[in-house]
Amino acid sequence: MKHFATLLLTACLLFAGRFAGAQKALDPNTPLVYLGIDFTGLKAINDAGATAADLKSKYFPAINQLTIAEAKKYDWQGALGMSNFSSDLAIVTARNEKVDESKLLSTNTADDAHLKEEDIKKYVSQYNLSGKKGTGLVVFYETFNKSSETGSMWVTFIDLETKKVLLTERMSGKGAGFSYRNYWAAPIYKVIQEIKKHKAKEWRNKI
């Protein structure tokens, strides 16, 4: 009986130790990998200044590069309060290069909210995350809506080992700036500010 009690106590202590040591997805010390902006499901609505070829070859990489080059402005790390932060845009770069140009442009304002949570999960399931650990952060840009001057996107957190979507939330921001790149990067900046002010604490408690 004494031997059994000792084994039981040891098991309980091991379990408690693992539980206590487990880190939540948005614990400041959990590795967070910024995967970039995925334009797979993008629709540019009533945007007379856009061509599908330019969106794919020019603006998708330009907007992604901007968020890295101006990391102090597009400060995901600070907004989420993460100390262990890195970036790796290889996956979204490859996906954006394969976007179907024929599906990019739209004149239908109903396309503004054409993506659903299940679409986001489907996109994530297509990612090759082999060897990656921690939490992934990817932005699925849904619409450049010139009619409302609004950019909408799904901010998404992924368990990199299992590809499980931990949280995805649709957010929007107004376009601003003189160049086409900056105009549609501005909603990302505004979404980051909204996260810093109102969402980070809520999300930390959720995941």
pLDDT the model gives residue 69: 97
- Residue 160 is encoded by which pair of tokens? 């990199």
Residue 22: pLDDT band (50, 70, 90) is low
Of the candidates 64, 165, 151, 187, the residue with the CA atom closest to the CA atom of residue 120: 165
Q: What is the longest distance spanned by two Cα atoms in the chain?
A: 80
As a whole-number percent, the residues of the chain with pLDDT over 90 amount to 83
pLDDT at 202 over 80: yes
Q: How far is Cα 63 from Cα 163, in angstroms, rounded to an integer?
A: 25
Q: Above pLDDT 70, what percent of the chain? A: 89
Query: CB count, 10 Å around CB of 124?
Result: 21
> Cα 40–126–75 angle (5° rounding)?
60
Q: Is the pLDDT of residue 6 over 90?
A: no
Instruction: Give the pLDDT confidence score for residue 21 in this predicted structure.
Output: 42
Average pLDDT, the chain: 91
> Residue 152 forms beta bridges with which residues?
143, 172
Residue 25, pLDDT above cutoff 90: no
Nearest to 62 by CA among 94, 88, 32, 37: 37
pLDDT in tens, 87-118: 999 999 999 999 999 999 999 999 999 999 99
Q: Has residue 65 got a pLDDT over 70?
A: yes
In one-letter notation, the amino acid at residue 61 is P
- 4 vs 67: CA distance, rounded Å: 57
- Between 186 and 14, the higher pLDDT residue: 186
